[in-house]
Amino acid sequence: MLSKEQILELLQPLQEPQLGVSLTELQWVRDVMVKEDHVALTMVTLENRTEDTTALSDAARNLLSQHGVNDVHIRLRAASEHERESLNIGQADHEEDEDEVLVKGHAAGLDGHELLSPESGVRFIAVASGKGGVGKSTVTVNLAAALARQGKKVGLIDADIYGFSVPDMMGIEEYPVVEDGVIQPVERFGVKVMSMGFFIRENNPVIWRGPMLGRMLRQFFTDVNWGELDYMLLDLPPGTGDVALDVHQMLPHSKEIIVTTPHATAAFVAARAGAMAIQTEHELLGVVENMAYYECSKCGEKDYVFGRGGGGTLAESLHTELLAQIPLGAPDNHISEPDFSPSVYKADSSIGAIYDEVAQTVDAKF
């Protein structure tokens, strides 16, 4: 059975949505009661907005369930006038903060953050696509694994908050733990991983508006103990929406890889993601053409299932390099293997070797 103090420590990562400050630091986790395997508590927020409170209660339940507490009753209420006044936020500071937020959005206040500072030496790579279903996440996890195989210290953020898939693709079954109020990422294939998927029960949908997505992404940078890194990869959601814009604001020095299929329509849509990178001064490392062809294992003949030329055309239009043409093919992994994953190709496979070449090419560009 957890004590009240342990529960408060577990809930340390939860932040007041508008202030970006831990609820436990504000002492806004109240009335904690523990009886056998049942926990009841109250959480206070500045405004009792449905999208904020739903996200907070879901996150709290998931953090507690990871430590065996499945019967949780959470009461949510808005802060009283006295509680607001006790924050003692000066008007001048508040106006200054508002000006910064208007300009930088969720990047406000991150300029001095150690991980995001150019002096950190961390090389950021955002992997983007114009549409879903082109294998962007597959490319991201395999590039991360390939960089790790080459001795690099690699972090991976599953920034596709709505369509998170990285934990499942990498065969991750454990959850992050909280130590001294800081989230410890899960490590798999030598890659440190953080994903929204760790904080959602089963396969429930994420029903959030744009601002909540940005706040969660911000927490992945500020509230996670990444340790020493050479590379940080971000699996962006498809398209050019709120999360992509937040990433461009938070990581002005990031570089990008655009993923497409050979199909002309996919390449046409992917050009928008590339154009966004150029407009926000993110250097393009190149284009990866996924599902480029199917190669017969018996005769070696290539069948261009989705057409030809989309990746090359896209790279040419964006004035960048075609990094690789990845063929169709399932990883040769068996569920009985201790390092089983549905989507990570082994180093000794033909497709795994292609990803190793991409990793070497990318590393040489920094």
Cα torsion 133, 136, 142, 147 to 10°: value is 180
Q: What is the DSSP string of 168-222?
A: HHTT--S--EEETTEEEPEEETTEEEEEGGGGSSTT------HHHHHHHHHHHHH
Q: How confident is the model at residue 191 (pLDDT cuts 50, 70, 90)?
A: very high
Structural domain spans, the chain: 4-85, 121-364
What are the tokens at 290?
């996924």
Give all strands (DSSP E) within the chain, no chain letters: 29-35, 38-45, 71-78, 123-128, 154-158, 177-179, 182-184, 186-188, 191-195, 231-235, 255-260, 283-289, 294-295, 302-303, 322-325
- In angstroms, the CA 365 to CA 216 distance is 30
Fold of 4-85: GMP Synthetase; Chain A, domain 3 (3.30.300)
Tell me what the pLDDT averaged over the chain comes to.
Answer: 84
Residue in the structure block whose two tokens are 């017969």:
296
CB 259 within 8 A of CB 129: yes
Collapsing DSSP to helix, strand or coil, 325 comes out as: strand
- In angstroms, the CA 366 to CA 355 distance is 17
Q: What is the pLDDT of residue 104?
A: 41
CB 266 within 8 A of CB 260: yes
What are the tokens at 361?
């090419």
Q: What is the pLDDT of residue 365?
A: 94
At 319-360, the pLDDT tens digits run 999 999 999 998 988 887 878 899 999 999 999 999 999 999
| Residue 94 phi, psi (nearest 5) | -65, -45
At 197-238, the pLDDT tens digits run 887 765 555 444 445 556 777 788 888 999 999 999 999 988
Q: Which residues of 88-103 are buried (b: 16+ CB within 10 A; e: fewer)?
A: eeeeeeeeeeeeeeee
Task: Give the lowest-confidence range in 5-14, 126-135, 251-260, 300-309.
Answer: 5-14
Q: What is the pLDDT of residue 212?
A: 58
Greater model confidence, 107 or 86: 86
pTM of the predicted model, to two decimals?
0.70
Q: What is the pLDDT of residue 110?
A: 54
With CA atoms as reference, report the closest residue to 67 among 3, 21, 157.
Answer: 3
Mean pLDDT score, 169-189: 90
What are the tokens at 31?
């009335």
With CA atoms as reference, report the closest residue to 56 among 70, 68, 46, 71.
Answer: 46
With CA atoms as reference, report the closest residue to 193 among 160, 169, 166.
Answer: 166
What are the tokens at 37?
């395997």
The domain 121-364 belongs to what CATH superfamily?
P-loop containing nucleotide triphosphate hydrolases (3.40.50.300)
